[in-house]
């Protein structure tokens, strides 16, 4: 039985990945702060703050992991600490979940390719820069170690256990019969269903790959903001009312009323599709997301400042 370590593993992507790994028969270890209860007795949860260097060494050094998947890595320092804590010979394969936020968006045209320039941008600022730094640490560390490193760059991820206010934001508006305010642009958004992302990880662990590989991961087709909202409504079986808003005229930002940045977040995913071509239809994935949302909506708190901003904008547009 292959032994896999998942950094994180209790929230959204990490939780979904753990379930997939268990289903594949892996011996699954997780490292997190233990803030959420372990839901499966087969999970061996090692409670630790990943920034606690000595504690992480203490809990990891007794183990030799075949595979390591870093879902929760946010900056280069965290990556350095993990590299020092792992056994000297390293795992057979290491997968880091990065982000499409690393691309030098302001100087590129979509779809962004794995070979395109990366750099801090005005949308993701330090989040994107920190992901870039994390990628660099792992690439340097594993350069002279016989570990196959794969870096995944997803756009927006949706699905069950997503407490971020994205699809849940739309579902909340649908159930309350509130109009969804959209930026008056025609930008495209790209998504990947969380279980598809987990399947990609599992496929990479089983497949031969180059020593250092970078993959954009996402659905082949990007959608407009309106199309995304309409897909959410169709999946929920509810009517939707969309209203376009020129936020720049009022000197606002798009994130004051809408959960996505106003730029074409679109990736070229042809490389990963050669390895794992399957993907879940938007409606099918959103139907499952909606059923999960209905069972967990009391645990998802909408942002008070966004609610306030929306009320002001609706009054201005005569939508109250």
pLDDT-derived band of residue 203, with 50, 70 and 90 as boundaries? very high
Q: Residues 109-117: what's their mean pLDDT?
A: 98
Residue 272 · residue 215 · CB < 8 Å: yes
| Residues 106 and 53 both lie in one domain | yes
Residue 273 lies in a domain: no
Alpha helices by DSSP H, listed for 176-281, are 194-206, 225-236, 270-273
Residue 72 lies in a domain: yes
* Per-residue confidence (pLDDT) for residue 211, from 0 to 100: 72
CA-wise closest residue to 186 among 152, 151, 149, 224: 224
| Residues 144 and 66 both lie in one domain | yes
Residue 295 lies in a domain: yes
| Residues 7 and 152 both lie in one domain | yes
309 HSE (CA, 13 A, CB side): 19
| Residues 184 and 131 both lie in one domain | no
Structure tokens at 139: 């690439």
The pLDDT of residue 210 is above 90: no
| Residues 208 and 180 both lie in one domain | no
Residue 68: domain span: 3-158+192-216
Count up the domains in the chain and report the number.
2
| Residues 78 and 208 both lie in one domain | yes
Structure tokens at 114: 């794995």
| Residues 8 and 116 both lie in one domain | yes
Residue 271 lies in a domain: no
Residue 286 lies in a domain: yes
SS3 303: coil
DSSP letter assigned to residue 185: S
Strand partners, 30: 6, 45
Residue 270 lies in a domain: no
| Residues 22 and 40 both lie in one domain | yes
| Residues 226 and 106 both lie in one domain | no
Residue 227 lies in a domain: yes
Residue 2 · residue 67 · CB < 8 Å: yes
* Per-residue confidence (pLDDT) for residue 193, from 0 to 100: 99
| Residues 231 and 206 both lie in one domain | no
Higher per-residue pLDDT: 243 or 36:
243
| Residues 20 and 142 both lie in one domain | yes
pLDDT-derived band of residue 256, with 50, 70 and 90 as boundaries? very high
| Residues 20 and 57 both lie in one domain | yes
Characterize 34-48 residue by residue with b for buried, 16 or more Cβ atoms within 10 angstroms of its Cβ, and e for exposed: eeeebeeeebebbeb
Claim: this prediction has a pTM higher than 0.85: yes
């Amino acid at each position: 039985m292959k032994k896999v370590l998942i950094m994180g593993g209790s929230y959204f992507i990490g939780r979904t990945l753990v379930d997939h790994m268990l289903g594949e028969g892996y011996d699954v270890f997780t490292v997190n702060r233990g803030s959420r209860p372990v839901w499966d007795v087969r999970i061996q949860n090692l409670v630790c703050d990943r920034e606690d260097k000595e504690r992480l060494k203490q809990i990891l050094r007794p183990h030799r992991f075949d595979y390591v998947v870093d879902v929760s890595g946010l900056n280069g320092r965290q990556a350095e600490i993990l590299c020092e804590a792992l056994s000297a010979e390293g795992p057979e394969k290491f997968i880091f979940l990065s982000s499409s936020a690393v691309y030098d968006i302001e100087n590129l045209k979509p779809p962004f390719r794995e070979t395109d320039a990366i750099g801090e941008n005005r949308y993701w600022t330090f989040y994107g820069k920190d992901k870039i730094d994390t990628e660099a640490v792992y690439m340097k560390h594993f350069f002279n170690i016989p570990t196959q490193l794969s870096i995944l760059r997803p756009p927006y991820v949706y699905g069950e256990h997503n407490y971020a206010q994205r699809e849940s934001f739309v579902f909340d508006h649908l159930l309350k019969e509130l109009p969804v305010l959209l930026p008056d642009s025609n930008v495209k958004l790209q998504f990947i269903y969380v279980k598809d992302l987990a399947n990609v990880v599992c496929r990479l662990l089983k497949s031969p790959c180059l020593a250092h590989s970078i993959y954009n991961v996402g659905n082949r087709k990007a959608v407009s903001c309106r199309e995304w909202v309409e897909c959410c409504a169709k999946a929920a079986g509810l009517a939707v009312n969309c209203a376009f808003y020129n936020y720049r005229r009022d000197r606002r930002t798009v994130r004051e009323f809408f959960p996505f940045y106003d730029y074409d977040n679109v990736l070229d995913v042809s490389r990963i599709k050669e390895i794992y071509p399957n993907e879940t239809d938007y409606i099918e994935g959103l139907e499952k997301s909606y059923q999960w949302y209905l069972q967990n909506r009391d645990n998802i708190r909408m942002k008070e400042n966004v609610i306030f901003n929306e009320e002001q904008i609706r009054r201005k547009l005569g939508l109250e």
